């Protein structure tokens, strides 16, 4: 079974989400194992954890995880998933209803080794302030993991679908419509690189996520296991390889707290 996909909460498990979660998981694990000794129990904050896919995965891997989520319904889903876990894992997870912009209300600066902010920046009016607050929560040498929509590739999905009007609009835009039809922000590698340098968590590594499969319909299910493995291997390779990663639908940026 694939590590991130093996324990998906109800309501998830479609192909698009599976690819995103699995590829991000592999990339994140690579950054973590590159920085910390194997077996070290890390303190991890997942800001805007949603249904908690990564939070629960990391707790299962032995880490101590705090999930912060603004939406009570998603928090409930995460709590339900957590309740089915063995006691040893449940004890390592703390779930909090709260705003990622107000981490100072809940935690002391420097209290985490890894902070995740996956799929959240697109909903932020003031992304730099959000990121600065999250970076403050990191201990020196800690890892900030960001997943954002890639504004430099917004023409790709409509273009590959033959929607030329949409493709032309994509070149000019840093806004896109999410799967629920909501217009949200997209970000550029260059500007986020500057932001991370400005908040003392300079970029250490970056990846693309969903290079080949962004056009897959939201409702598409999983292919057979072997086919899914090959698809993920191709996506993982593209996500770390130039020039492919440059036009990925999502960017995964990892900054390290100085
Ligand atoms: C697209 S989902 C991503 C969920 C999860 N991080 C993932 O990658 O699967 C965005 C999540 O961020 C949450 N969110 C957005 N803004 C937030 C904020 N300021 N504070 C806390 N959570 C927030 C939303 O409620 C939602 O659950």
Q: How far is the CA of 73 from the centre of ligand 1 (A)?
A: 12
End-to-end CA distance of the chain: 37
Q: What would the pLDDT profile of 230-248 be if each residue is shown by its tens digit?
A: 999 999 999 999 999 999 9
Please determine, for residue 120, whether its predicted confidence score (pLDDT) is greater than 80: yes
Q: How far is the CA of 174 from the centre of ligand 1 (A)?
A: 19
Q: How confident is the model at residue 172 (pLDDT cuts 50, 70, 90)?
A: confident
* Residue of minimum CA distance from atom 13 in ligand 1: 48
Percent of the chain with pLDDT over 70: 95
pLDDT for the residue numbered 218: 81
Please determine, for residue 50, whether its predicted confidence score (pLDDT) is greater than 50: yes
Give φ, ψ of 101 to 5 degrees: -80, -10
Q: Show the tokens assigned to 162.
A: 């033959």
Q: Is 202 exposed, middle or buried (0-12, 13-18, 19+ CB in 10 A)?
A: middle
Give the pLDDT mean for 79-90. Answer: 96
pLDDT for the residue numbered 12: 58
pTM above 0.85, yes or no: yes
pLDDT for the residue numbered 212: 97
Q: Is 157 exposed, middle or buried (0-12, 13-18, 19+ CB in 10 A)?
A: middle
Percent of the chain with pLDDT over 90: 90
The response to whether residue 100 sits with its C-beta less than 6 Å from ligand 1 reads: yes
State the chain's mean pLDDT as an integer: 93
Give the pLDDT mean for 147-174. Answer: 96
Q: How wide is the angle at C-alpha 208 spanned by C-alphas 205 and 214, nearest 5°?
A: 165
The response to whether residue 101 sits with its C-beta less than 6 Å from ligand 1 reads: yes
pLDDT for the residue numbered 177: 85
Please determine, for residue 165, whether its predicted confidence score (pLDDT) is greater than 90: yes
Q: Show the tokens assigned to 138.
A: 């990191």
Alpha helices in 173-248 (DSSP H): 189-198, 225-239
Give φ, ψ of 18 to 5 degrees: -60, -45
Q: What would the pLDDT profile of 26-45 be if each residue is shown by its tens digit?
A: 999 999 999 999 999 999 99
Q: How far is the CA of 56 from the centre of ligand 1 (A)?
A: 15
Domains in the chain, start-ordered, CATH in brackets?
15-151+185-256 (3.40.50.150)
The response to whether residue 69 sits with its C-beta less than 6 Å from ligand 1 reads: yes
| Residue 163 DSSP code | -
Q: Show the tokens assigned to 6.
A: 């093996």
Q: How far is the CA of 50 from the centre of ligand 1 (A)?
A: 5
The side-by-side arrangement of strands in the sheet containing 64-69 is 93-97, 64-69, 43-47, 112-118, 138-149, 250-256, 203-209
The dihedral region occupied by 110, where left means phi > 0, alpha psi between -120 and 50, and beta the remainder, is left
pLDDT for the residue numbered 181: 84
pLDDT for the residue numbered 190: 98
């Amino acid at each position: 079974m694939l590590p991130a996909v093996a324990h998906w909460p109800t309501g998830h498990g479609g192909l698009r989400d599976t690819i995103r979660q699995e590829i991000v998981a592999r990339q994140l694990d690579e950054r973590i194992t590159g920085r910390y000794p194997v077996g070290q129990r890390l303190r991890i904050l997942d800001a805007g954890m949603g249904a908690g896919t990564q939070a629960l995965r990391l707790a299962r891997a032995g880490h101590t995880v705090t999930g912060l989520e603004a939406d009570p319904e998603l928090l409930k889903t995460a709590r339900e998933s957590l309740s089915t876990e063995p006691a040893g894992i449940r004890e390592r997870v703390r779930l909090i209803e709260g705003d990622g912009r107000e981490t100072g209300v809940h935690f002391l600066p420097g209290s985490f080794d890894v902070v995740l902010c996956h799929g959240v920046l697109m909903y932020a009016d003031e992304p730099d302030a959000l990121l600065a607050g999250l970076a403050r929560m990191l201990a020196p040498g800690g890892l900030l993991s960001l997943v954002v929509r890639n504004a430099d590739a917004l023409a790709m999905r409509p273009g590959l679908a033959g929607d030329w009007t949409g493709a032309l609009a994509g070149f000019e835009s840093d806004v896109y419509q999410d799967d629920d039809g909501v217009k949200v922000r997209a970000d550029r590698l260059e500007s986020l690189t500057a932001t991370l340098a400005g908040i003392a968590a300079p970029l250490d590594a970056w990846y693309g996520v969903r290079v080949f499969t962004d056009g897959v319909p939201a409702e598409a299910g999983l292919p057979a296991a072997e086919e899914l493995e090959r698809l993920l291997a191709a996506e993982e390779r593209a996500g770390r390889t130039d020039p492919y990663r440059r036009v990925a639908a999502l960017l995964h940026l990892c900054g390290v707290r100085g």
